[in-house]
């Protein structure tokens, strides 16, 4: 199920300075794609369990409108036009992009990414010695970790 856009068509219309009907499919698509880009970057959806839009911070809504307006005004991503030879140049972007300013505005709303890859899980219960275990140094500093030398009555000794 598609998530609702993070901004309204009326917000986009106010930003670009023209009348856009609420049912305009192009405006809806641009806002939907801009919202997806912002959600992906921020790692948040701003919807509840019923897929209803929750309170969206103003800064997030502003970024969505700015990104959508750039795509709405320039759908072909035209970068420049040269009149003498009739040259046109299209941008090298993938469509809707977040600028450095957009990322800066979203920084405080960006969720922490879950750790990736293999991690280390500690299996000790503190820094103290276990029973009467003695740790033997493995060499002059800087050396490796000390080697445990277990006492005879230590349960670790088999």
pLDDT digits (tens, 9 = 90+) for 118-148: 777 766 655 554 556 677 777 776 677 777 7
Cα 87 from Cα 81, distance rounded (Å) = 6
Give the position of tokens 């957009």.
102
Whether 4 shows a pLDDT value over 80: the answer reads yes
As given in the structure block, the two tokens for residue 143 are 């050396």
pLDDT digits (tens, 9 = 90+) for 31-83: 999 999 999 999 999 998 888 888 899 999 999 999 999 889 887 776 666 77
Whether 28 shows a pLDDT value over 90: the answer reads yes
Q: What are the extents of the domains in the chain?
A: 9-109, 130-158
What pLDDT score was predicted for residue 38?
A: 95
Answer whether 106's CB lies under 8 Å from 38's CB: yes
Q: Which of 24, 124, 11, 3 is nearest to 58 (CA)?
A: 11
What pLDDT score was predicted for residue 63?
A: 96
């Amino acid at each position: 199920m598609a998530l609702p856009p993070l901004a309204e068509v009326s917000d986009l219309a106010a930003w670009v300075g023209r009348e856009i009907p609420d049912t305009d499919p192009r405006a809806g698509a641009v806002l939907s794609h801009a919202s997806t880009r912002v959600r992906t970057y921020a790692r948040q959806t701003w919807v509840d369990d019923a897929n209803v839009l929750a309170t969206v911070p103003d800064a997030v809504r502003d970024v969505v409108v700015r990104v959508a307006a750039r795509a709405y005004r320039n759908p072909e991503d035209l970068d420049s036009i040269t009149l003498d030879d009739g040259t046109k140049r299209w941008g090298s972007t993938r469509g809707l992009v977040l600028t450095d300013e957009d990322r800066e505005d979203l920084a405080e709303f960006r969720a922490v990414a879950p750790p990736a890859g293999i991690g280390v899980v500690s299996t000790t219960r503190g820094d103290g010695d276990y029973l009467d275990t003695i740790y033997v140094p493995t060499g002059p500093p800087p050396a490796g970790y000390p080697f445990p030398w277990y006492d005879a009555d230590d349960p670790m000794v088999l």
